């Protein structure tokens, strides 16, 4: 996993959450959403949060903006590996 995203647990969560939402909506086998589609979902999520004011919300907005920028510069294979690592992390946390 990239070092930059390892330091941002909220960004990890959003990436995992949106990936999970995509998989649940998929009619076929679970698949990895395309990077461009993920960036679009992140932008929509960020725009929804921008309507709300508050210090805590600004942390979420910052995390989403970071992810958008991060995903625009990450190769497809790194993106898939990152999603796989996040699935393992969050599934492990759920089991505890």
Q: How far apart are CA 27 and CA 85, in angstroms?
A: 23
pLDDT tens digit string along 19-32? 887 777 766 656 77
pTM of this prediction?
Answer: 0.63
The packing angle between helices 76-95 and 9-25, to 10°, is 90
- Give how many domains the chain has, as a whole number: 1
Residue 5 pLDDT > 80: no
Q: Are 90 and 51 in contact, with CB atoms under 8 Å apart? A: no
Q: Are 83 and 64 in contact, with CB atoms under 8 Å apart? A: no
SS3 category, 72: helix
Domain that holds residue 7: 3-95
Q: What are 52's two structure tokens? A: 């709300």
pLDDT tens digit string along 68-78? 998 898 898 98
């Amino acid at each position: 996993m990239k070092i930059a995203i390892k330091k941002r647990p909220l960004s990890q969560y959003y990436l995992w959450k949106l990936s999970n939402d995509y998989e649940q909506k998929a009619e076929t086998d679970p698949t990895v959403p395309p990077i461009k589609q993920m960036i679009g979902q992140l932008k929509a999520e960020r725009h929804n949060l921008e309507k709300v004011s508050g210090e805590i919300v600004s942390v979420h907005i910052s995390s989403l903006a970071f992810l958008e920028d991060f995903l625009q510069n990450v190769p497809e294979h790194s993106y898939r590996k990152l999603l796989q690592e996040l699935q393992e992390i969050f599934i492990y946390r759920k089991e505890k």
